[in-house]
Structure 1
Amino acid sequence: MIATKMPPSSDNCHIRLGGLFTGLVVTIWAGNAYATESHMALALQHAQTAAKTNDTKVLVNHADAAKSHLNVVDEHLKAGNSSLDAAIEHAKQGHAELAKKSAEAAVEHLQAAQ
């Protein structure tokens, strides 16, 4: 049986790119996790207000507001995930510039999710 193997530099490139994308996501998340006006923070504030009230109208209003912020987060996380998938696929094909553009799009979506 003849075994073929990709050149070591290609294997290392995929590992480095995967680590780069993971590091990028962690950095963005950690750097902005404490933003007071993030969508996640606002969703939590509205949910907490809803949980503490006995007024059903106030509860509905705050629960709806919390869901609105979570929907924004969800859509941007989905788009960010898709952009990272595209970045990985482009990188695997050796399309560095397209991979970089997809990674940049992911950064924008992840920032917007907050």
Structure 2
Amino acid sequence: MRAISTTIAAGTLVFFMSTQVWASDAGHTSEAMEHAGKAQAHGEMGHAKDALQHAKDSLAHAKASRDDHAASHQHMDEAIKHLEEAIKHADMGHGPESAKHTEEAMKHMRQSGH
């Protein structure tokens, strides 16, 4: 009985310790997606300054995600290219064009599997 209790306690401890690893695994990608969505929305509304900031934040998280997940590297590279274009267009005041690039970036982020 004591061995069963010890096994259950150890298993529970391992489970809770590993959930943080799983949560951080997808953290940068979800942050990148969230900021890209906000960048797209602001771009569609013509708020280039806000779209610029969210696209920059998304880019930073996308790069961190790419570095964390080499297997999904290709899709994150494409997402990064589109986010860089979104930043360029938002910086020029082209909200709708920026929104198109952030939408493409989000497609690639989804395809990265993280």
- TM-score, length-normalised on structure 1? 0.43
Bigger helix share? 2
> Of the two, which has the highest radius of gyration?
1
- TM-score, length-normalised on structure 2? 0.43
